[in-house]
Amino acid sequence: MTEIIDADVLDGFKSVTQYDVKDFFVKYLDFIDNEYSNIINYYTGASAIAPSTSFTKLDYLVKEQKKVIDAFVLNSASLDNYKYWALLEYVEDIGHTLETAKNSSRWLRAAVTQDGYRQQVISEHMTAQGQSLEGMERSVIRSTSYRDSWVNTAMENNLAEDDYNLDGGYLIKIIYKNNASLFLEGVVDAIDEPKKTYGLDIDKRITFEDSDLVVLSYENTIVQCAKILTDLKREDDPAYPDRGINVKAIVGNTQMGVTYPTLFRELAGNFATDDSFRSLSITDVRKILDVVYVDFTVETKAGDFFNKSIQL
């Protein structure tokens, strides 16, 4: 937005709506200049102290931004000049920024622990019999300073000395050390449990419920994703027309004429575009009457397996 909003527009808005939007802009600029960075530092782990003042100002601005929008709606007949619509666009843009700030923990993939946020993926581990916290740090979390770092793991799980022994069977949340953690480009969330590596998506059938788009569960999201990638054919995606299975190389050919290594590569290429999946393996190629099926298994980053089949 490049339109210049002068004092006359702000004063005119206040005269019509009895709302001082100038004061709202001043407080918003103060938040951006002095408070926003505190929230980012907290969620990235640069600061362990929750910036309560910054969060309070953010909550206030979110509420005030909605009040400004309501003022526009209630007084739309008197605010029909273009200059007020330009002002509205500025306020709407501010709303987007504030919502981004509210969801900073998700955008930064910051998962909560007992002693603050960590900008890393948190997973769960079931301890084995005879496995100490120090041993788990060395063999599972791969910490090079495991003799000391086990204390941090205990604190992150709020474990007292008598809360843990060598009997095993304890479910502990862990953060991988030395770049052994995983970062998912396709998932915007605070990943503090394995199923969140699946991400969330809307139903591909564009279904509405309670006047809003239906959002799938984590499990249904990964199932839908696997289905989409399995069925993706060449030229299905306008942005990447060369991505997908080349149907022209299959249709009209006999089973012996199909170049299976190329087909397998294309199928693997489909799943490689989504980093929620770890691997793909072909389990069987079978023929039923005149139809050839390729069965395969995909593994997610959470360690779950899905058996799929594609018809040639």
Report the alpha-carbon angle 64-5-97, nearest 5.
40
Rounded average pLDDT over 43-66 = 88
Average pLDDT over the chain, rounded to whole? 78
- Which tens digit of pLDDT belongs to each residue from 65-87? 999 999 999 998 888 788 888 88
The model's pTM is 0.59
Q: Per-residue confidence at 179, pLDDT binned at 50, 70, 90?
A: very low
Residue 257: the pLDDT is 47
Quick: pLDDT tens for 126-160. 666 776 777 677 666 666 666 666 676 777 676 76
Q: Could you state, in order of their start, the residue ranges of all structural domains in the chain?
A: 7-107, 111-183, 208-311
More confident call, 44 vs 117: 44
Contact 209, 251 (CB under 8 A): no
The percent of residues in the chain predicted with pLDDT above 70, rounded, is 71
pLDDT digit string, tens, across residues 159-169: 766 666 666 66
Give ∠ CA 4-37-189 in degrees, rounded to 5.
Answer: 100
* Contact criterion met (CB below 8 Å) for 150 and 136: yes
- Determine the average pLDDT of the residues in 176-195: 63
Count Cβ neighbours within 10 Å for each residue of 287-300 and write b for 16 or more, e otherwise: eeeeebebebebeb
| Strand partners for 299 | 279, 305
What confidence score (pLDDT) does residue 227 get? 84
Identity of residue 243: R
Confidence of residue 228 (pLDDT cuts 50, 70, 90): confident
Q: 208-311 domain in CATH 3.10.450.40?
A: yes
What the block records as the tokens of 282 is 């072909």
